[in-house]
Amino acid sequence: MAKACVLQSTLLPAYSPLHKLRNQNFTLSFPPLPVSRCRPGIHCSVSAGETTTRSVEEAPEISWGCEIDSLENATSLQNWLSDSGLPPQKMAIDRVDIGERGLVASQNLRKGEKLLFVPPSLVISADSEWTNPEAGEVMKRYDVPDWPLLATYLISEASLQKSSRWYNYISALPRQPYSLLYWTRTELDMYLEASQIRERAIERITNVVGTYEDLRSRIFSKHPHLFPKEVFNDETFKWSFGILFSRLVRLPSMDGRFALVPWADMLNHNCEVETFLDYDKSSKGVVFTTDRPYQPGEQVFISYGNKSNGELLLSYGFVPREGTNPSDSVELALSLRKNDKCYKEKLDALKKHGLSTPQCFPVRITGWPMELMAYAYLVVSPPDMGNNFEEMAKAASNKTSTKTDLKYPEIEEDALQFILDSCETSISKYSRFLKESGSMDLDITSPKQLNRKAFLKQLAVDLSTSERRILYRAQYILRRRLRDIRSGELKALRLFSGLRNFFK
C-alpha cells in the first residue's frame, strides 16, 4: 500500500474522456538508454477474450507485479536502485502496521533532515526512453498527452519483463491494487451504495476504459504489431492507471512536472504529516524533509495531500482510522424538487453556472461551505424570489467575486431544514448498510475471493462509519440552529402578544 504523495493536476488529455478524472498526478526525465530495435517477447495473462467473458465477480489477474505485501520484490528493487545510482539510504523496506510495506528508519533521523535523493536517471516520466523505441515514436507522433502516454509506457515496459530496464521496479508494484479503480461494479454497488464516492469510482473506471478505447481506435488498431490487444486492453489499462493514480507525484521545483519515483513511492501516508516530495536542485535528486524525528525501526511517513477518507480509498485503497484525518469530509447530494413550480427556472440558473441536480458538496466535521447553503436557498426559494435565483446559483458555483455569506433570513429556516432532511436521508443509507454488512458474502466458498471480499467490505465499513460520523455532527449542528431560530421566533411571538394585550 506504500504510495508516494499525489497532487492534483490539470494535465488531462483534451481529446479523451480522462478530462473528467479527478485528483490526478505526474513527470520528469533521465538519460537515454541503449536499446535494441527488435521487440522482445511480450507477456500478459489477460487476453482479449478474457476481458469480454470474465465474471463480474472476479478481479482480473495481471502477470507482472507482485503481492502487495511482498518484501522479496521490494528488496530486489532496493538492490537494483543502489546498483543504478541511488545513494546510501537511512531507511529500509519492511513490513509495517500501516500499509503492508513501508520505509522504516534504519538509524536516528532528525526533524528537518532531507532524505531519499533519488536521481533523475531513476525517475519515470513522459520523457522516458522506451525499451521498444518504435512504440514510443508512434505514441509521440500522435501527440498523446502525458497520462495515457505513461499508462501505455508502463504496460509496454511491464510486458517486456526482464528486457525492460524497469523490470525490478515493475516487479515490486502491486499486481492487484485495492484502489476503487480495481473494484468490480458488483463490489462497488454492494459495498459503497451509501457513499457518493461510488459514483466517482464508476466515473473514473468509465473514463479510463473510454481513454483506452480512444487509443485503441486511433492508434493501437493501426499498429497491432506494436500494441497487441492481448497486452494493451482495458484491464491492463486499469492496472496502469491504478498505478498512476496512486503513485504519480508532482514536483513543484521542476516546473510542476509529474513523475513516478521508485523507492520514494514505498512511503506511506500519515494524516498528521505535512511533508511532500520535491526535486532538490542543490543535491539534484528527489527528496523530502522530515517534519519530526524518527527512531530506528519506526515507519517514516509523508503526506499524500489534504484528502478525505473517500478520496484516499478511491486512489490508494485504504481508509485512515476514524477521527484521525483532519481533512476528512463527506459529499452530500442536494437536488431540486421536481414538484417545484420554478423547477425549470432554477435548473436553468444552475446550468448557466456549471451546476446540476443533484449536486454534491463537501461536509466536514466543522461545518459546510457557503456554496451548499446557497444551493439550499435556491431549492427552497419561493416564486416571488425569482429575481434572486441567478444570485443564488452563482454563489453555489463559487464563481462570485464576493466571498461574503449569502443571507436570506426569510427562508433561512427552510434552507436549514432542507439540508437537515438531506443529511438524515443520507444517514439512513449508511445505517442500513452498516446494519446489513454483517450478513454479506456468506455464499462465497473460494478462500481467495472470501479474503478479498472480507477486506473490501471492511474498507467500506470503515469509510461508511467515518462519513456517517461527519453527517451525525452536521445533523447535531443543524438541529441546534433550527431550535435557536424557532425558539427566537416563539419568544418574539410571545413578546408581540404581550404588548398587544398590554395596549388593549
207 is in an annotated binding site: no
Per-residue buried b or exposed e for 263-283, using 16+ beta carbons within 10 Å of the residue's own CB: bbbbbbbbbebebbbbbbeee
Could you give the CA distance from residue 25 to residue 192 in angstroms, rounded to a whole number? 25
HSE-CB for 65 with a 13 A CA cutoff? 20
304 is in an annotated binding site: yes
25 is in an annotated binding site: no
C-alpha cell of residue 334: 442536494
279 is in an annotated binding site: yes
In this structure, are residues 336 and 347 in contact, taking their beta carbons and an 8 Å threshold? yes
15 is in an annotated binding site: no
268 is in an annotated binding site: yes
Could you give the CA distance from residue 459 to residue 433 in angstroms, rounded to a whole number? 13
343 is in an annotated binding site: no
3-state helix, strand and coil shares in percent for the chain, rounded to the nearest 5: 50, 10, 40
Q: What stretch of H or E contains 364?
A: strand 359-364
Q: What is the 3-state secondary structure (H, E, C) of 411-456?
A: HHHHHHHHHHHHHHHHHHHHHHHHHHHHHCCCCCCCHHHHHHHHHH
Q: Are strands 301-302 and 268-269 parallel, antiparallel or unpaired?
A: parallel
Q: Give the DSSP per-residue string, 84-107.
A: TTPPP-SEEEEEETTTEEEEEESS
Binding site as annotated, residues for substrate = 247, 265, 279, 304, 316
Binding site as annotated, residues = 247, 265, 268-269, 279, 304, 316
Binding site as annotated, residues for S-adenosyl-L-methionine = 247, 268-269
